[in-house]
A and B are shown apart, each in its own frame.
Chain A
């Protein structure tokens, strides 16, 4: 257990569904991140939240909508996804910027059918 918990671990959804991924950290960190990991591709940074404010959005399609209600929780709301969105979605947190490295959750394996 890393201190960063992601739920669900696996998710299968249709292209017309709406679902949400949840990430929770109990490390007292101030920054949280969503990464997408597709097969044979480098990790892609999607969103960065620092002190509950979004500080970066890396040209992610609007069908992905993040939410950070407090410093311990991060959500990724999904709607009208495409099959190419199937991937492992990883949440991470850090104490402050990149200085301390990230602590990752185990990820949510998303399959869009």
Chain B
């Protein structure tokens, strides 16, 4: 069965520091991979997605993620964090052949120190 693991429940970084949020997936074939962000009281917003091709994908708000098949990982990175990046981040895996079902990780809450 597909699964997504985000090992870090909560991360705190200083403003201006770099950020990496971890995501590991379990899936038998090449998955579709996504990162979403959720601000308090809001729905989820798509940051970026990977389907195929270049394993380094660029997203909105200066985020990028790298697909590493050998490690079954899809980590999210940002070189310099802004206070407005404080939110909850969700990694998700999907499969075209399973009728549009996305499986989400439990989320990583990001706090940003001034």
Interface positions of A (Cβ within 8 A of B): 2, 4, 6, 31, 33, 40-43, 45, 48, 50, 55-56, 90, 92, 94, 96-107, 109
Question: Are B99 and A2 neighbours in the complex by a CB distance under 8 Å?
Answer: no
Interface positions of B (Cβ within 8 A of A): 4, 32, 34, 36, 41-46, 49, 51, 90, 94-96, 98-102, 104-107
Q: Which residues of B contact A98 (CB under 8 A)?
A: 32, 94-96, 98, 100-102
> Nearest CB to that of B95 among chain A residues?
A98
Q: How far is the CB of A97 from chain B (nearest CB, A)?
A: 4
Given contacts A98-B32, A98-B94, A98-B95, contact A104 B44 (CB under 8 A): yes
CA separation between A98 and B30, bound complex, in Å? Answer: 13
Question: Are B100 and A107 neighbours in the complex by a CB distance under 8 Å?
Answer: no
CA separation between A15 and B89, bound complex, in Å? Answer: 32
Q: Which of A40, A55, A105, A107 has a CB less than 8 Å from the CB of B99?
A: A55
CA separation between A97 and B75, bound complex, in Å? Answer: 24
Q: Which of B45, B100, B107 has a CB less than 8 Å from the CB of A104?
A: B45
Task: Please name the 5 residue pairs, one residue from A and one from B, whose CB atoms are nearest each other, closest first.
Answer: A98-B94, A104-B43, A97-B100, A43-B104, A104-B44
26 A-B residue pairings within 8 Å (CB atoms) = A2-B45, A4-B43, A6-B43, A33-B100, A42-B4, A48-B101, A50-B99, A55-B99, A55-B100, A56-B99, A97-B100, A98-B98, A98-B101, A98-B102, A99-B32, A100-B49, A101-B94, A102-B102, A103-B46, A104-B36, A104-B44, A104-B45, A106-B41, A106-B43, A107-B41, A109-B41
CA separation between A102 and B45, bound complex, in Å? Answer: 9
